[in-house]
Chain A
Amino acid sequence: MSDVRQHADDIHDQFSDHIDVSVDDVEDRLSTLVDEYKVPMDEARRSVTNHYLEEAGLEREDISSGSSEHVNVEDVDEPEQWIDLTAKVIELWDPRSDSVAQVGLLGDPTGTIKFTKWAKSDLPSLEEGGVYELRNVVTDEYQGRYSVKLNSTTVIEELEEEIEVGDDTSEVEGALVDMQSGSGLIKRCPVEGCTRVLQNGRCSEHGEVEGEFDLRIKAVVDDGIDAHEVIFDKEATEELTGLSLEEAKEMAMDALDTTIVADEIADDIVGTYYRIEGPTFGRYVLADDVSELDGPADAEQLLIKARSM
């Protein structure tokens, strides 16, 4: 497909619900501007889009910016950008609100990002494991975490290809300076697919339930420049602390208090230097590979530098 044809297709997709126009017609208008008048493609798209906006009696907001750019997941670093993604649906989560049709995690070779699909946008369903071309999605940011929103102008095309999902692995090295609440021996909601952490025996969704014990740590690892939030799941927690879930339960039973587990763990890990590798999810790093930095620190190079300054 020619470049002009591709752009014509995009514009046509934006308007096909609103006015009766053929792709050929759009392509003609574009190629007149681009080929005859040597107008840059951006400007040509803008001009042709405006023409159809007027014809349809629509505002630009009604059809998106009309200049969405194809980007990789790792490049999403600004809210309210109209973009195109080619991504795989890694996970679908339960929507917490009726206004949301689908919510979950998308991934491409460069990383993962949360998506939300509004109920009112009336789009086809995405399936877990499916690979899609998503045109005209809009980026959003909440507390430093980026997501994309599928809206009524979004065009979804299922692709046959398989794509490898990169896990956005990062490496964090620093002192563990804080262990946050919700760490240690916790109880999770047993309702299928829920797994929310209970507060005083209650799930925020399912009320009072018989919880299931689990171990996890939410900690802050800080190198003096950035503070990273790190989550250790049960396996990572057991490995880090040498304390198994069974032992933790016994400890809590003996003390008639579950908080003793968190206290013991905090005593063990706070103030210690670690190197942590693992996938990132928004602002969290999931601890996959953890090593304690207890070897000698090399002062010599730094001393040479300090003396030469």
Chain B
Amino acid sequence: MSGAELTREVARRVFASEFNDSTYAFKESDDERAPNYALLPTGDRANRVFVVGTLTETEDVGEESEYWRGRVVDPTGTFFVYAGQYQPEAAAALRDTEPPAYAAVVGKPRTYETDDGTVNVSLRPESIAIVDEATRDRWVVETAERTLERVEAFEEWEAEQEPPESGSTAPTNEYAKMARERYDSPVVNYRNDVIQALESIEGTQNPEPTT
């Protein structure tokens, strides 16, 4: 539970493959209390995300105090969820849940640099709830839809950029622009992940009749 924020940040829907590529973090102002955003490669900012997947493994990786890591798997990859003493409810959920189980996680993206200099993205949970398969499937479809919307907007923007001398009538897409400056991986990858994710649940929903 939390108190009311002045403007509540939306929980973005993003698959693990894109989430883990969201290595660039930024603020919109110099104010110390200004919210942090992860830059999604499909061209949006995320201060908060909502993910649903299979909790496959939990481990207390803390040294002095409890620090729980959970692996939450979706059709495209794995979210790494970390909860310690400042997230007591989420930590308790990771401690008490017997994997595998479907878990819905609301949380904030966090980036950290490893010893070899690579940037990893993890999820700091605000809440972890155990849910059912229907909720997982709904999330996959919803996340596919939101991701496609971002990809579409990105590609529209990109198409308008082609002739550089054509003036400034092109739609502005601040975060698409930022994403193209910061990231290398082509946006079409995330569309392919969407297809893969949808195929994975379509198969389970509409089994072929056996003859």
Contact residues of A with B, CB < 8 Å? 143-144, 175, 177-181, 183, 220, 222-227, 229, 262, 266-267, 270-273, 293-300, 302-303, 305-307, 309
Contact = CB atoms under 8 A, between A and B. Distances in A.
Nearest to A269: B129
Contacts of A309: 148, 151-152, 155, 191
Contact of B138 (A144, A267, A270, A297): A297
B38 interface: no
B106 A271 contact: yes
Contacts of B11: 175, 177, 222, 224, 227
Given A271-B104, A271-B127, A293-B138, A306 B194 contact: yes
A294 B135 contact: yes
Interface stretch (B21-29, B178-186, B195-203): B195-203
B3 interface: yes
Contacts of A262: 1
Interface in B100-153: 104-106, 126-127, 129-132, 134-135, 137-146, 148, 151-152
A303 B148 CA distance: 10
Given A180-B3, A181-B1, A224-B10, A302 B145 contact: yes
A226 B8 CA distance: 9
B141 A298 contact: yes
B50 A222 contact: yes
Contacts of B142: 223-224, 297
Interface of B: 1-4, 6-13, 48, 50, 52, 104-106, 126-127, 129-132, 134-135, 137-146, 148, 151-152, 155, 191, 194-195, 198-199, 201-202, 205-206
A266 B128 CA distance: 10
Contacts of A302: 141, 144-145, 148, 194, 198
A270 B127 CA distance: 8
B141 A181 contact: no
18 contacts: A143-B6, A178-B106, A178-B126, A179-B1, A181-B2, A222-B10, A223-B142, A224-B50, A267-B129, A271-B52, A273-B135, A297-B142, A299-B198, A299-B201, A302-B141, A302-B145, A302-B194, A306-B194
Contacts of A267: 129
Given A222-B50, A271-B106, 9 more contacts: A175-B139, A177-B106, A224-B11, A224-B50, A229-B4, A262-B1, A270-B104, A303-B202, A306-B144
Contact of A227 (B9, B131, B191): B9
A226 B11 CA distance: 8
Contacts of A299: 137, 140-141, 144, 198, 201-202, 205
A271 B10 contact: no
A306 B195 contact: yes
A305 B50 contact: no
Contacts of B145: 302
Contact of B1 (A178, A293, A300): A178
Contact of B198 (A179, A220, A306): A306
Contact of A305 (B139, B148, B202): B148
A270 B139 CA distance: 14
A212 to B, nearest CB: 23
A224 B13 contact: yes
A180 B8 CA distance: 12
Contacts of B129: 267, 270-272
A180 B148 contact: no
Contacts of B6: 143
A262 B146 CA distance: 31
Contacts of A224: 10-13, 50, 142-143, 146
A220 B141 contact: no
Contacts of B52: 271
A283 to B, nearest CB: 9
Contacts of A222: 10-11, 50
B10, B13, B105, B191: which has the most chain A beta carbons within 10 Å?
B10
Nearest to B8: A227
B144 A266 contact: no
A294 B134 contact: yes
Given A267-B129, A271-B131, A226 B10 contact: yes
Given A177-B106, A178-B106, A307 B195 contact: yes
Nearest to A268: B129
Contact of A266 (B1, B8, B198): B1
